Structure 1
Amino acid sequence: MKVTFPKSFFWGAASSATQAEGRVTGDEKGGNIWDYASKEYNHRFYDGVTTENTSLFYQDYQQDIQKMQDISFNSFRTSISWSRLIPNGTGAVNPEAVIFYNNMIDELIAKGVEPFVNLYHFDMPMALQEIGGFEAKAVVDAYKQYAKTCFELFGDRVRYWFTFNEPMIPAEAGYLHDRHYPYVVDFKRAAAVLHNIILAHCEAVKVYREMKLAGKIGIIMDVIPVYPRSQNAADLYAAEMADLFYTKSVNDAILKGKYPVRLKEVLQEYDQLPEVSNSDLELIAATKIDLLGINYYRPRRVKAKECVPNPNGVFSPEWFFDEYVMPGRRMNTSRGIEIYPKGIYDIAKKIQTEYDNIDWFVSENGIGIEGEEAFIEEGVVQDEYRIDFLKEHLTYLHQAMEEGSNCLGYHMWTFVDCWSWGNAYKNRYGFYRLDLATGEKTVKKSGLWFKALVENNGFE
């Protein structure tokens, strides 16, 4: 059986500025929280790898974009580094950055690769973090101005814009669960950060609409579908709460224009409600996006709480559910996460039924493997596991499209092995292998398979 996709389907990969660009002498880039944390908290980063080199995209962009064309990409998502473009977060624009991003965008277009440009991928300028980051309303205003600057500089050529990648993560990982700098552990502050990120998104969309640019604007969400252990009422409640905190809290605000009533009730009950004004709610209600990106890597399986939470502990969504380790689940042991291809179908159906079947695309999906050098034969990584992963997920995606889901494309994470948050180069994700010693980039078997997929608009 052949699985066939539309001729207009977007095929490509995703990356981000901090994870790919690196630094060169004279680039005039300002520091961001990852530049700072990877040095000052170096012990938290696998093998102590900092943001200095990453995947060398700043210097290699022409060759890299040629490599994209070599495996038939028709689109590519990356981000603009706020601290590269505006080193202090506000004020003077860095002319070196303008040259680089103009050249990158022009090169993508010249090679037939549609640029999908994201404005914020976890990389708060350090100068703005020092005044509170997204806890501070002044930083929402600074982001609005940054977005306007990007639209003015590049909006004549970039037709697909995204305000944020995974808006939940800066709040949850940076302000609640101690994974990202500033390593705060405080739910109420995390909730304030998430609310201000949503406001910043709305302000950027508003600016884009006012400028009447001839493109589309959206956002990229990290969606983890939630599955209860059983149909027992206690397990169903656990799943409802996990979904409420980690998905509906942000998705409903952005896609339905309002926060869930149940969320407000719970946060009021536990005295965790951030300050939210009527004008904030009006702005959220008035904001509509054109296109939704969905990042999908794993499911979330939950069960009823085994123990009552410590009433003096840190309030957290995990007060309402426990992780459920399902017997027989398939694991990516490198990352310690479950592989569940049907999840991409379930997300597609949720968008179709709960979110007005909005136009969307898979903005990230991928498999990170440790020790890929063990699979090198005659200089090529024989990553059959990545090809199998792609086939399974694309088969489920195709089924959802056959049933009416408006999916417009699929972007793998990632184009070339990249630096990951905390994990550095421990797990490899790319269609191209990066040799850390030489900087050489060589196509993997999956990259060649992907090329054939794009050229045939499907696979057997």
Structure 2
Amino acid sequence: MKIEFPKTFFWGAASSATQAEGREREDGKGENIWDYASKEYNHRFYDGVTTENTSYFYRDYEQDIQKMQDISFNSFRTSISWSRLIPKGTGAVNPKAVEFYNKMIDKLLEKGIEPFINLYHFDMPMELQNQGGFENREVVAAYKEYAKTCFELFGDRVKYWFTFNEPMIPAEAGYLHDRHYPYVVDFKRAASVLHNIIVAHCEAVQIYREMKLPGKIGIIMDVIPVYPRSQNPADLHAAEMADLFYTKSVNDAILKGKYPAKLKEVLIKYDQLPEISATDITLISETSIDLLGINYYRPRRVKAKECLPNPEGVFSPEWFFDEYVMPGRRMNTSRGIEIYPKGIYDIAKKIQTEYGNIDWFVSENGIGIEGEEAFIEEGIVQDQYRIDFLKEHLTYLKKAMEEGSNCLGYHMWTFVDCWSWGNAYKNRYGFYRLELETGEKSVKKSGLWFKELVQQNGFD
């Protein structure tokens, strides 16, 4: 049986500035929170690898884009580094950054690859973080100005724009769960950051609309579908609460124009509601997007709480549910996360039924494997496991599309093995292998399979 996709389908991969570009002497780039944290909190980073080199895209972009064309990409998502373009976050623009991004965009277009450009991928300029980051409304204003600058510089050629990648993560990982800098643990501050990111998103969309540019603008969401342990009412309630905090809190605001009433009730009850103005509520209600990106890696399985939360502890969504370890679940042991291809179908159906069947695409999906060098035979990584992973997810995606889901494309994470937040190069994700010592990039078996997939618009 052939699994076939439309001829207009977007095929490619996703990356981000901090994880791919690296730095070179005198390139004018300002410091961001990852440049800072990977040096000052080096013990938190796998093998102590900093952001200095990452995947050398800043140096190798011409050869890299050729490698994308070699495996038939027709689109590629990356981000602009705010601190490269505007080193202090506000003020003077770095001419070397403008030159780099212009050349990158032009090279992609020359090779028939549509640039999908994201404005913010976790990389707050350090100067602005020192002023409070997204806790500070002046930083929201700075982001709006940064977005406007990008649209002015590159909006004549870039037709697909995204305001944020995974807006939940800077709030949840940076201000509640101690994974990202500034390593704050405080729910109310996290909620304030998330709200201000949503406002910043709306401001950028508004600017884009005012400029009447000939493209589309959207956002990239990390959606983790929630599954209850059972149909017991207590388990169902746990799943509802997990979904409310981690999905609906941001998705409803951006896709429905309002926060869920139940979330507000819970936050008022526990005195965790951040400051939200009537102007913000109006802005959110009046802002809509053209295109939604969905990052999907794993499901979230939950059950009713087994113990009462510590009344002296830090308020968090986990007060309302426990993780459920389902017997027999299939695991990616390198990452410690469950592999569940049907989740991509369930997300597609949720978009179709709950969010107006908006146009969307898979903006990230992939599998990170530790020790891939063990799979090298005759000079190539024989990553059949990645091909199987892709086939399973794409089969479920096609099923959703046959049932009316408006999915326009699929981007794997990632083009070439890249530096991961905290994990550095522990797990490899790319269609191309990166040799850390030499910087050499060589195609894997999955890259050659992907080329055939794109050329045939499907697979058997």
Identify the TM-score tier after normalising by the shorter chain. Answer: over 0.9
Task: Give CA deviations for 1:21-55 in whole Å, capped at 9, x if unaligned.
Answer: 00011100000000000000000000000000000
Could you say which residue in structure 1 is the equivalent of 2:34?
A: 34
Task: Give CA deviations for 1:418-452 in whole Å, capped at 9, x if unaligned.
Answer: 00000000000000000000000000000000000
Could you say which residue in structure 1 is the equivalent of 2:64?
A: 64
Could you say which residue in structure 2 is the equivalent of 1:254?
A: 254
Could you say which residue in structure 2 is the equivalent of 1:55?
A: 55
Could you say which residue in structure 1 is the equivalent of 2:102?
A: 102
Question: SS at 2:391's partner residue?
Answer: helix
Distance 1:178 1:379 in 2: 40
Could you say which residue in structure 2 is the equivalent of 1:339?
A: 339
Could you say which residue in structure 2 is the equivalent of 1:359?
A: 359
Question: SS at 2:398's partner residue?
Answer: helix
Instruction: Measure how far apart 1:136 and its partner are.
Output: 0.2
Question: SS at 1:144's partner residue?
Answer: helix
Distance 2:127 2:78 in 1: 23
Q: What residue identity is the alignment partner of 2:409? A: G
Could you say which residue in structure 1 is the equivalent of 2:322?
A: 322
Could you say which residue in structure 2 is the equivalent of 1:435?
A: 435
Question: SS at 1:217's partner residue?
Answer: strand
Distance 1:67 1:296 in 2: 25
Q: Does 1:165 align with 2:165?
A: yes
- Superposition misfits of 4+ residues, deviation over 4 angstroms: none
Could you say which residue in structure 1 is the equivalent of 2:384?
A: 384
Could you say which residue in structure 2 is the equivalent of 1:186?
A: 186
Could you say which residue in structure 2 is the equivalent of 1:238?
A: 238
Question: SS at 2:185's partner residue?
Answer: coil
Instruction: Measure how far apart 1:348 and its partner are.
Output: 0.1
Could you say which residue in structure 2 is the equivalent of 1:313?
A: 313
Distance 2:249 2:181 in 1: 22
Instruction: Measure how far apart 1:401 and its partner are.
Output: 0.1
Question: SS at 1:25's partner residue?
Answer: coil
State the Cα RMSD in Å: 0.2
Distance 1:432 1:45 in 2: 23
Question: SS at 1:311's partner residue?
Answer: coil
Could you say which residue in structure 2 is the equivalent of 1:145?
A: 145
Q: What residue identity is the alignment partner of 1:171? A: A
Distance 1:409 1:234 in 2: 37
Could you say which residue in structure 2 is the equivalent of 1:130?
A: 130
Question: SS at 1:19's partner residue?
Answer: helix
TM-score (norm 2): 1.00
- Which runs of 5 or more structure 1 residues have no equivalent in the other structure? none
Question: SS at 1:93's partner residue?
Answer: coil
Task: Give CA deviations for 1:83-139 in whole Å, capped at 9, x if unaligned.
Answer: 000000000000000000000000000000000000000000000000000000000
Distance 1:280 1:66 in 2: 44
Q: What residue identity is the alignment partner of 2:313? A: G
Q: What residue identity is the alignment partner of 1:136? A: N
Q: What residue identity is the alignment partner of 1:278? A: A
Distance 1:37 1:296 in 2: 26
Instruction: Measure how far apart 1:297 and its partner are.
Output: 0.1
Question: SS at 1:385's partner residue?
Answer: helix
Q: What residue identity is the alignment partner of 2:339? A: I
TM-score (norm 1): 1.00
Distance 1:156 1:214 in 2: 8
Question: SS at 1:292's partner residue?
Answer: strand
Question: SS at 2:309's partner residue?
Answer: coil
Distance 1:25 1:264 in 2: 49
Q: What residue identity is the alignment partner of 2:31? A: G
- Which runs of 5 or more structure 2 residues have no equivalent in the other structure? none
